[in-house]
Structure 1
């Protein structure tokens, strides 16, 4: 995933402003201004590490004089008791950065851990695991960084970089044929070069899309395993295929074995338990 470093910096600054506002008064009140301290970022739960690169930017943004020694890296398998990094410098600065670093890394690591489990379940098959737009507002960049660290492929970042005609688009447009026709006209009129994906809800809709054409990807939403196989056979490689809906660790292998090109899962980012990490003075 290509990340705009300025976008990441802007998000970090906003997050610091949200947390600190006019001052970390707990630290200002109780910790001497000149006190120097050290801390370790400790792993308290096994998983996959994510967010280290972001944490380094947080420490630098809070106080460029903080010295960080990185031990582990994004994508590393981690176990309880591991030390991710150490940080030294102003005690007040370390305390100001602590919660933001942990909030980001715990959630990103939780996402990467879950993603890695799903990727491992289908690693030997020619299919991609895809993330979705079911993300936390103003945290999408970090969540999609985490899915990529876990081994998934970033699908679309937002509404602007791909056309996805879902059920409501189709219904509002007046049906599948009207939705595709209007989309092709829009792209011709604007000169935009965007892939088109269309959602289908049953085999009859797959047949309709095959009759009309004009798309790049056909989404097979909430299809049974038998219908997924039938749809892949019908499509016959004319378009990319994407299975979606109720993808779990127990079902993903069966879905992948139907021959679809991609499997998208909103649960990668919206049903995640954060991984337990802590920052402790030493």
Structure 2
């Protein structure tokens, strides 16, 4: 273990106060000789190096390179919109969990980490670079991507991902506004319109069949398209997920887009029809 006291570690460009864990270079020397000390110092001062951030148990963080600046832990991951605040939450086996770690992304988003005994989860909240036709536009679009994985020797019986409005919202009407592969709700008042969306059950089934980060148990014993799977209401959207084995990863996202209200304008609806990889790409994640 190498402990550096001070600011003499190049490569992390964002400001940061506190301890951070990184994978160091490999050395093998029974005696700490001056030459080895020089090599370590040179590595610490090297600006052009890949930094692999580590969890406290020594595991490499799934999102890869240097991505976060830790800050004071907020109460709940959320996005503030002109119509109110949307909060994102996670429950596993009917028990709600809070993030154990939090950091600011250089791109302006956030990365929340949930480290527990039998599973790990990360939630990335990123601003989405939306590409629309020239006559369509939104003021802002944000995505929230959950990625959860059981630890070796464990499994998750069930979990639930939610995107819900915090009390105090100011929208005055809402309604389901789904499309092919998209489960969405429209919210509006006299001045603003907003869509909240996620992938529908049919698209999640397709991802399961392609081995695209949906558990093999998803949708078994039910007609997802006929019965519906994603739960939506005026308060938001909930995506329940079935049993997950230790070799499986589950990835679920929500997208929120808003603009000034224009009658019959579908810009926000089009904007929330996204894939997780496109949400993460804007923040330099994968």
TM-score normalised to structure 2 length = 0.23
**Which structure has the larger Rg over C-alpha atoms?**
1
Greater fraction helix: 1
Greater fraction strand: 2
